[in-house]
A and B are shown apart, each in its own frame.
Chain A
């Protein structure tokens, strides 16, 4: 059984169809990328998995539990943590407080403190600026904080929506290095990205979606040639 399984998911906003019929799955320990142009329904898919929007048809199962109709908090408690588009860190909270709220679903306060210390060790910049307002961090540092905040809930699956958006190229490299490290440590990841080449290189498998449905799904596993081919053929990001 897959960790996460989407079957025939359809998402509409009024009369506008954002996702027609999406099928995808993520297995335990797998790093899967969902790539596609802006406006093809990638972020809507993330929102549906996270419980922010309710699909009009289909099913989203996580470890056998149906997620459609569940609240975001309940989905987080089942083990899916989200790193949203634009990071959405709490800018008026300190770095340490952002980590604390990330651990809200943990019932043991001592465990939250321990996890927070672990995050600060894992992401040294967060430890260095623990008492600084999060809004004062650079874009890359904020992205690290957003990922660390999500990891505070000890998720089974990490869901990332466009983590490279708005970041300088070398910072994007750092973010992907971090995802690579998380994958090596056994985390299951579903990455939604416009940066197709980089996502395909990093992921075990990718799904390419266009106008609300999957048009290609293949193993990636660091295949540079494949990454370039997909980018050139379907996405026209500079090389077409």
Chain B
């Protein structure tokens, strides 16, 4: 096997693990599978188009601010009113919100994909021990590692992080010790929005356009990654997302040419096999059913 495939697969796996983390975090805190998460990434993509002419730091900061703002707005206007409703109501709300944001983007930016000027700086490639490694892969890996370390530090070393972890385990008891659920849930949406913005920057860095439907495939990957990793487990989410990206890239590289069009079918068959063996996911959190 060509080791170059491994480099590409690790890069994709890292990006997918980030996607999954953002979705899994909100699920862990309030039991909400936010299917509008992909649309946050899509909004990040359009922000990049609008801010493309700005210095890189302003582009990153602006994209994060826009996506976090929309994420907080989502929580306040759509999810808070149904927080005590059934899981099904919250799920339908998230589907409705996803559709609303998609159609809004379609109206605002048109039905045709918007071209995105390439980041030529990221296509620079280095040769290391016979392997071709692009700046984009290095950036994805370094960013993923930094986000994972940052998230781990936030969750373990700050009060809001410890309160978030307490709420993910027992939201009722968290209220009894005085943790304010509004504050903790808003914090989860800020973190999730920040991750969605980072995913948007890394994801669209290699794309030539952004479309109103760009978020659909992302949320599917994140959802399946979270499920096979183990809903309610952050480590499981990161692992599940990574495996999705890694296996998908490897399938595309290793399958015979005539079978590559069925890479998705092979991937989701593997997902079904994993769930048959471990219905709670690879690292199942207590009390969560898939």
Contacts and interface: CB of A to CB of B under 8 A. Distances in A.
**Do A and B belong to a common assembly?**
yes
A72 B175 CA distance: 6
Interface stretch (B139-147, B164-172, B186-194): B164-172
Contacts, number: 57
A227 to B, nearest CB: 30
A51 B282 CA distance: 37
B172 A153 contact: no
Contact of A92 (B163, B169, B177): B169
Given A84-B173, A90-B165, A101-B166, A77 B159 contact: no
B172 A52 contact: yes
A104 B165 contact: no
Interface in B149-186: 159, 162-163, 165-166, 169-170, 172-180
A71 interface: yes
Interface in A87-116: 88, 90-93, 97, 100-102, 104-105, 109
A101 B159 CA distance: 8
Contacts of B180: 73
A1 B205 CA distance: 69
**Band of interface residues on B:** 10 to 19
B37 to A, nearest CB: 24
Interface in A152-175: 153
Contacts of A76: 176-178
A100 B159 contact: yes
A101 B174 contact: yes
Contacts of A109: 159
A101 B162 CA distance: 7
Nearest to A100: B162
Contacts of A104: 159, 163, 177-179
B227 to A, nearest CB: 20
A77 B178 contact: yes
A82 interface: yes
A73 B175 contact: yes
Contacts of A88: 170, 172-173
A71 B162 CA distance: 21
A97 B169 contact: no
Contacts of A102: 177
B169 A101 contact: no
B178 A153 contact: yes
Contact of A73 (B162, B165, B170, B179): B179
A237 to B, nearest CB: 29
Contacts of A93: 162, 165-166, 169
A197 interface: no
Contact of A82 (B163, B166, B176, B286): B176
A52 B173 CA distance: 10
Given A92-B165, A104-B177, 9 more contacts: A50-B176, A72-B176, A73-B175, A76-B176, A76-B177, A90-B165, A97-B162, A105-B177, A149-B177
